Amino acid sequence: MQRFQKEKKAVKKLQNLLILICRIVAITFLVFAFSQPYKNPTNGLQKAQETIISIFIDNSFSMSAKGTEGELLSESKEAAKQLINSYPNNQRYIISTNALSAVQQRIIDAKSAYEEIDLIKYSPIQRNFNSIFNWTQETKQKIDKRDQKSKSYELLFLSDFQSEFFKLDAIQADSISNINLWQFKPQKVENCYIDSLWFKNKTHRASEENELFFRLNNDSPEDIVNLELTITVNDFSKDIFMSVNGNSNSVNSVNIPVQPEGNSEGKIELRDQMMYWDDEFFFSYQTTANREILIINGKDANERVAKVYGTEPYFDVKETPISKVNQSSFYNKRLIILNGISTISTGLSADILKFKQNGGNILILPSDDIDTRALNQLFADLGLPEVKASQKTALKANSIELRDPTFDGVFEKNEQTDLNLPNFRFIHKTNSKNTSAIALIKLRDESPVFYRSLDQQSFALYSSLKESCSDLVQNTLFPVLCIRIAEMAGSDNIPYHFIGQDKLISFETDVANNGPVKLQNNRTDFIPKTIQKDAYNYIDISGIEAMEYLSQGNFALKQMDTLKMLALNFNRKESSVKLTTTEEMMKKLALKGINSLNSQLFDEKTDVAKIKLNHIKEYWRICIFITIMAIFCEILIAKFWKNKS
């Protein structure tokens, strides 16, 4: 009996000991669970904190390229949603796109993240990786400052990673967060698009044809043969076929027939299979019955200048003494001729420079007796060489730059020796090696006497029209020069603009017009920012608002009436299919001190569920499981010994 009692006490003692151990384990791991322990891949066990997953999805136009399972944007959105599905419902996220807006700088739950991803659409906003990464760092800092609870971050960037936009110039270092680069590549590395166009003649006369030039780019290693393009201008339409070598471009042209006076709208459309957003390129221009010219006469003005234009009814010439010029004199003018001036005021120089900035052309025909300081400042501002000295000479003009656009269509290329060129008895010497301007006429000793600026807007004679200085006005070259310069002039010579461009667009308005200035077509009604500088008016289509609300197309700029037509396109930077490889990205980021990196190239075999992010491992769930098992064991032990006894 005593032996039985001893065994019973020993069993009871063991039972109590096991129950005590189970309770200690349960309580201990319950405490651990509430303290949320985690293990950092590099730093070991630390104090618990929340891991936020930040997902950036590139929604620029380049993501519209076709991937293995649809467009790249659709693939990246689906990958992001699969990632969210692989995490518990209490996981929180930051979802961002190229907008990088303040609204996106917030933490949201899984359901909201799913909804945000579904709402992502293509955007014309272009961001480089530098801006995106730094915005993410700024978002982290704002959230940490707002919420004192310590957090860790897992950063995901889903993009095609165009070479053009993978810039790291001013990227902020991040040695704490884990960086994940998920690259989505198009099925075929190819795209074809038009990036620019221009007219042979800037002046569009209502009675003349004009030749339209355009450049077609082939971003593919393979040659393109017989690509179909359609050119339309008003009711005119023409189909052409072009072939372009791989990784190159080709310039082609088409003659646009006579169009009625007024605004003309045009479009070039091609049929490309990889990206569709850049398959259309819009343009517009104004066909006029006349062109207004202002001649500002100085003390040595030559009357033959005005007579040259009198032979052409297309040119409407106004003359005024230099002493009576004001800003209103420039209204609706396309060319200003400074005829026989010897000096110029700083105020008039400033007005002329603004006139040029608005697209107008300048022709300077100076006197022989000039104020070098005053005119040299004007020459420099207009991109023309300064006068170093003035001297007498007795030389004949020996050469003309026949290949220059100024003489395009006027002379044959081999007519140089057959031309009767003028004699010069006086010139203003320049330093021809210290200028970007183009010398159009040179003497026998190679001294230039007529220049044009590199931008083809400013022209100047470095002599005088006086008979004692030259016989230029008696030579047939003089009217040719004057008329060609007038034909090239015009503030309405830009056939298209890019949405988001920094350059302001000038327009002219009647003082009787009131109300806001609008950009309108059959799909859009947008009020752009307007700016007035002195007597000039501009609209500004830069900034996020314009890029979000404007689309490609031909627009009427209206106030009360239509002020002018504008063709708007998105720039073709997003058309490039040149991508940065994952190896290049990892290497470049490592050089910037960002080492906690993972990359993934997506294709049809990629399984998001098998991708393990290198984030901090949390153990609170394991602690809860151990606690439950300890309690369960305690119940089993208590019940087992009770039944046995």
CA distance linking residue 507 with residue 564, whole number of Å? 7
Work out the number of other CB atoms within 10 angstroms of the CB of residue 337. Answer: 27
Helix-helix angle 346-357:372-381, to 10 degrees: 20
- The residue-averaged pLDDT of 254-265 equals 92
Indicate if the pLDDT at residue 3 is higher than 80.
no
Whether 335 and 426 share a structural domain = yes
pLDDT of residue 564: 87
Whether 181 and 204 share a structural domain = no
Q: Number of folded domains in the chain?
A: 4
> Bigger pLDDT: 488 or 443?
443
For 232, the token pair is 């339309």
Whether 560 and 582 share a structural domain = no
Q: Which domain holds residue 530?
A: 496-576
CATH number of the CATH domain containing 224: 2.60.40.10
CA 614 to chain centre: 35
- The residue-averaged pLDDT of 192-205 equals 89
pLDDT of residue 45: 38
Look over the chain and give the mean of its residue pLDDT values, rounded to a whole number: 87
Indicate if the pLDDT at residue 536 is higher than 90.
no
CA distance linking residue 354 with residue 533, whole number of Å? 9
Whether 430 and 546 share a structural domain = no
Question: Does any domain span residue 9?
Answer: no
Pick from 556, 576, 596: which residue ends a domain?
576
Half-sphere exposure of 301 (CA within 13 A, CB side): 16
Whether 313 and 265 share a structural domain = no
Question: Does any domain span residue 130?
Answer: yes
Q: What pairs with residue 392 in β-bridges?
A: 426
Whether 212 and 142 share a structural domain = no
% of the chain exceeding 70 in pLDDT: 90
% of the chain exceeding 90 in pLDDT: 54
147 pLDDT band, cuts 50/70/90, is confident
Indicate if the pLDDT at residue 510 is higher than 80.
no
Residue pLDDT, tens place only, 92-101? 999 999 999 9
- The residue-averaged pLDDT of 22-49 equals 66
Residue pLDDT, tens place only, 29-42? 888 777 766 555 54
Indicate if the pLDDT at residue 171 is higher than 70.
yes
- The residue-averaged pLDDT of 500-529 equals 85
**Least confident stretch, 61-75, 266-280, 401-415:** 401-415
642 pLDDT band, cuts 50/70/90, is low
Work out the number of other CB atoms within 10 angstroms of the CB of residue 446. Answer: 10
**Least confident stretch, 14-28, 209-223, 248-262, 292-306:** 14-28
Pick from 462, 488, 514: which residue ends a domain?
488
> Bigger pLDDT: 484 or 641?
484
Evaluate whether 158 touches 181 at the Cβ level (below 8 Å): no
- Write the CA distances from 91 to 52, 86, 110, 584, integer angstroms: 7, 10, 6, 32
Indicate if the pLDDT at residue 559 is higher than 90.
no
SS (H, E, C) 169-211: CCCCCCCCCEEEEEEECCCCCCCEEEEEEEECCCCCECCCCEE
Q: Report which residue type is found at 636.
A: L
Question: Does any domain span residue 7?
Answer: no
Whether 311 and 215 share a structural domain = no
Q: What pairs with residue 251 in β-bridges?
A: 215
